[in-house]
Amino acid sequence: MAKTKIGILGAGYAGLLALKVLQSKAKDVEITLIDRNSYHNEATDYHEVAAGSVNADKITYPISDVVKPGITNFIQATVTKIDKAAKTVEIEGHEPMTFDYLIVALGFRSETFGINGATEFALPMDDVESSEAVYKHFIAKLEDYRTSKNPDNLKVLIAGAGFTGMELIGAMAENKAKYAKIAGVTPDDIELTCIDAAPSLLPMFPSDLADYAVKRLAKRGAKVYTSRGINEVKDGVVVAQNMETKEIIEFPAGTIIWTTGVSGSDVIANSGIEARRNRVMVTSQLKDPENDKVYIIGDVAAVMDAESGRPYPTTAQIALVMGHVAAMNIIADMNGQEGEDFKYVSQGTVCSLGNTDAIGVLGNGTKVKGYVASALKKIIMNKSLWETGGVKEMLAKGRFDLYH
Ligand SMILES: Cc1cc2nc3c(=O)[nH]c(=O)nc-3n(C[C@H](O)[C@H](O)[C@H](O)COP(=O)(O)OP(=O)(O)OC[C@H]3O[C@@H](n4cnc5c(N)ncnc54)[C@H](O)[C@@H]3O)c2cc1C
């Protein structure tokens, strides 16, 4: 009997978790996993690479460590298009892949919302390479300062004070002394600023925790401004408007980093799949509404949260649960059984403000901050590593400096 062909696009949190479940539980399957990289990225740590707190190899591990030969064939290549009707996937430099079931887990990319100059003059943090590029760019500016004395070289402007922007400015604030040494200045000369159009910060946290975050960052000399809508990005300047006073303010900076939000992979749009910002509104079982053999999960999927009346946010924690549910639903379908609905119960949300500081809310609503919250963040990250890469990767790449 011919084996059932399952394609998995993307070896991020969602794709790798689905792969692990299918490899251990599905019978008579032939899995093809495709990713443009040979390694899995811990995307939740990109800000640490961009800030120079850790090297890229600390947040990556080989996909081959998770692949079971004989069941799964891994292809390192870029997916360009999905043809749901023909049940094929187009891949750069390869024959198209055919499938009986498909899991689309192609993740996110930075979204500029069409703001003029953002693509040309601001740096994204979309993957390990672009995160490394942010660090290299800033270091080059600091080195250049030694001779040019251009004050803008010491300035970083982070556009977007969401989760990513706040984690990034927290990590950078911690490294000010290291940056200052490179430029030959004092830590107080390094200017870190984060701006956002929203009137308040981090809506997923109670306002007292968001206030704590801003105060702690200010203590380390990092400024966060709300109600600053970005009009335009020029070479070395962000032009924003104070949303309350309508005053136009220019933020000059040698390094401009873009963290205003994310969209799903462009492969969704290239494939003509109906979506909003490349996120497909999937069924409660995570299937494409137009093809029940295609599952769309992680940051390329949108599922309504009945409680909030809004789609669930894009997080690694949710991507992992989706990976599990999609794999189990394929197995159920192969066995002629009814699949399960996606449900997510948050164990807690934590936003780091550097290595030893953070804010968080546990699943039961308990608020945490400071050292305790930062230790909790590391435990959550280690759990993700264990779920996708197993004990080996958790021990090799995990964060065990919980008590500092
Ligand atoms: C700085 C930062 C901090 C974050 N912090 C947290 C946090 O604390 N907690 C949390 O839960 N979430 C956090 N997130 C969000 C989290 O990282 C994402 O929600 C998560 O990565 C989504 O997982 P995914 O599997 O859908 O996609 P991804 O992790 O993006 O994986 C997608 C995979 O697809 C591959 N791929 C993409 N396009 C192609 C293509 N065309 N062809 C082949 N392969 C392709 C990529 O190489 C990648 O391996 C953070 C994100 C950032 C950027």
DSSP class per residue in 264-325: E-HHHHHTT---BTTBEE--TTSEETTEEEEEE-GGGEE-EETTTTEEPP--HHHHHHHHHH
User: Looking at the 3D structure of the chain, how many domains does it have?
Assistant: 3
Quick one: pLDDT band at residue 93, thresholds 50, 70, 90? very high
Is residue 403 pLDDT above 60, yes or no? Answer: no
Q: According to the model, what pLDDT value does residue 368 have?
A: 94
pLDDT tops 60 at residue 404: no
Amino acid found at 51: A
User: 212 and 176, same structural domain?
Assistant: yes
Exposed, middle or buried by CB within 10 Å (0-12, 13-18, 19+), for 226?
middle
CB atoms within 10 A of CB 77: 14
User: Using a 6 Å cutoff on CB, does residue 319 contact ligand 1?
Assistant: yes
Same domain, 127 and 237: yes
- DSSP conformational letter for 115: -
Return the H-helix or E-strand segment holding 354. Answer: none
Q: Residue 246: enclosing H or E segment and its boundaries?
A: none
Percent helix, strand, coil in the chain, to 5, is 35, 30, 35
Same domain for 208 and 178: yes
Contact (CB, 8 A) for 282 and 302: yes
Pair (88, 132) in one structural domain:
no
The answer to whether the CB of 108 falls within 8 A of the CB of 263 is yes
Q: To test ligand 1's pocket by mutation, which of 314, 324, 347, 359 has the most ligand atoms within 8 angstroms of CB? A: 314
Q: Is the CB of 103 under 6 A from ligand 1?
A: no
State in Å: Cα 264 to ligand 1 middle.
10
pLDDT of residue 302: 96
**pLDDT at res. 307:** 80
- 287 is in which domain, residue-wise? 4-110+263-343
CATH number at residue 230: 3.50.50.60
Q: What percent of the chain has pLDDT over 70?
A: 99
Dmax (CA) of the chain: 72
Residues 250 and 267 in one domain: no
* Last residue in a domain, options 260, 279, 296: 260
Dist. CA 319 → ligand 1 center (Å): 9
Residue type, position 120, single letter: E
Confidence class for position 397, pLDDT limits 50, 70, 90? confident
Residue with tokens 């690479």: 49
Query: Is the domain of 93 the same as that of 131?
Result: no
What is the mean predicted confidence (pLDDT) over 4-24? 98
**How confident is the model at residue 122, as a pLDDT?**
98
**Same domain flag for 18 and 91:** yes
- Atom 52, ligand 1: residue with shortest CA distance: 44
Asked whether residue 251 falls in the same domain as residue 135, the answer is: yes
Atom of ligand 1 nearest to the CA of 43: 17
Ligand 1 atom closest to the CA of 300, numbered from 1 = 26
332 and 267 part of one domain: yes
In this structure, the answer to whether residues 256 and 231 fall within a common structural domain is yes
- Assess whether the C-beta atom of 81 lies below 6 angstroms from ligand 1: no
Residues 309-323 have pLDDT tens digits of 888 989 999 999 999
What is the Cα–Cα distance from 310 to 114, expressed in whole angstroms? 24
Look-up of token digits 């094929």: 88
Question: Model confidence at 262, in pLDDT bands (50, 70, 90)?
Answer: very high
Report the distance separating Cα 324 and Cα 326, nearest Å.
Answer: 6
Q: Is the CB of 36 under 6 A from ligand 1?
A: yes
Let me know: does 246 contact 114? Beta carbons within 8 Å. no
| One domain for residues 156 and 256 | yes
Domain-ending residue, one of 316, 343, 370: 343
**Mean pLDDT of all residues in 252-264:** 96
Mean pLDDT of 106-123: 96
- Here the CATH number for the domain that contains residue 74 is 3.50.50.100
126: CA distance to ligand 1 center in Å? 8
Please check whether residues 9 and 75 belong to one and the same domain: yes
Half-sphere exposure of 333 (CA within 13 A, CB side): 21
The helix/strand count (H/E) of the chain reads as 10, 27
Are 198 and 227 within 8 A, CB to CB? yes
Averaged pLDDT for residues 65-75: 96
The set of catalytic residues is 167
Q: Which residues contact 330 (CB under 8 A, 6 or more apart)?
A: 6, 22, 26, 101, 103, 295
Residue at a domain's end among 326, 343, 360: 343
At residue 392, the pLDDT reads 85
Query: Is-contact 213 202, C-beta < 8 A?
Result: yes
* Rounded Cα–Cα distance for residues 135 and 43 (Å): 16
